[in-house]
């Protein structure tokens, strides 16, 4: 964890960071176990490829950071057609770290630096609060579901241990280096 994250002064702020870290670990687990041939396999119809879904997730994070936390370094966007799984893993790890800093600045207490969450340039901004975290997690969970479904439909089914593993939050927190988890202490 960076020094900036250690400045979180509220239990909710720290819990938000832990929750987002577990969310990112789920993304990384899928990328680790996804058959490389599934990455650019063309789904039927006008459906995004798995590569396009993961790059979209990263690029949306960069938008949230750029609009809501302009004081943070915005990660470079990824190109949906040229991005490799390794580039996606690195990009998502970087954008997750910036999102954690953004959450710390928004939800960490002591007059947080971020007062509004901007989901998009066209959407009305929300006050920084639990809705911000919920929106971020919901967006990514939706796309993880798409990835799992597409992998299955394209003949690249993820192992059962992976599918159940993304629901083992205690293990996810441990893998993220977070001792506490939900209600289990600060983990700091």
User: Is residue 153 in some structural domain?
Assistant: yes
Output the pLDDT for position 176: 85
Q: What is the CATH number of the domain that holds 47?
A: 1.20.120.450
Token code pair at residue 32 = 């680790």
Phi and psi of 127, rounded to 5°? -60, 145
State the total domains in the chain. 1
Tell me if 137 is assigned to some domain.
Answer: yes
103-135 per-position pLDDT tens digit = 999 998 766 789 999 999 899 999 998 999 999
Range of the domain at 35: 4-175
Does 168 fall in a domain? Answer: yes
Asked whether residue 184 is assigned to any structural domain, the reply reads no
pLDDT at residue number 32: 96
What pLDDT sits at residue 96? Answer: 97
Contact 77, 59 (CB under 8 A): yes
Q: To 5 degrees, how large is the angle CA 141–CA 142–CA 147?
A: 90
pTM: 0.90
In a domain, 78, yes or no: yes
- For residues 133 and 103, give the distance between their C-alpha atoms in angstroms, rounded to a whole number: 8
Which residues, given as ranges, of the chain have pLDDT below 70?
1-7, 110-111, 179-188
What confidence score (pLDDT) does residue 38 get? Answer: 97
**Is residue 8 included in any domain, yes or no?**
yes
Q: Is residue 19 part of a domain?
A: yes
Residue 127 lies in a domain: yes
């Amino acid at each position: 964890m960076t020094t900036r994250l250690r400045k979180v002064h509220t239990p909710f702020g720290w819990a938000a960071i832990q929750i987002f870290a577990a969310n990112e670990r789920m993304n990384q687990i899928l990328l680790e176990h996804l058959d490389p041939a599934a990455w650019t396999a063309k789904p039927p119809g006008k459906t995004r490829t798995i590569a396009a879904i993961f790059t979209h997730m990263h690029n949306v994070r960069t938008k949230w950071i750029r609009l809501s936390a302009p004081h943070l370094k915005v990660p470079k966007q990824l190109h949906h057609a040229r991005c490799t799984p390794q580039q996606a893993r690195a990009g998502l790890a970087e954008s997750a770290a910036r999102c954690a800093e953004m959450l710390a600045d928004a939800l960490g207490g002591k007059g947080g630096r971020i007062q509004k969450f901007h989901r998009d340039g066209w959407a009305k901004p929300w006050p920084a609060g639990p809705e911000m975290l919920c929106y971020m997690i919901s967006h990514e969970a939706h796309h993880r579901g798409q990835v799992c479904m597409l992998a299955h439909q394209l003949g690249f089914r993820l192992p059962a241990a992976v599918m159940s593993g993304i629901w083992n939050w205690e293990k996810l927190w441990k893998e993220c280096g977070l001792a506490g988890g939900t209600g289990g202490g600060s983990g700091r």
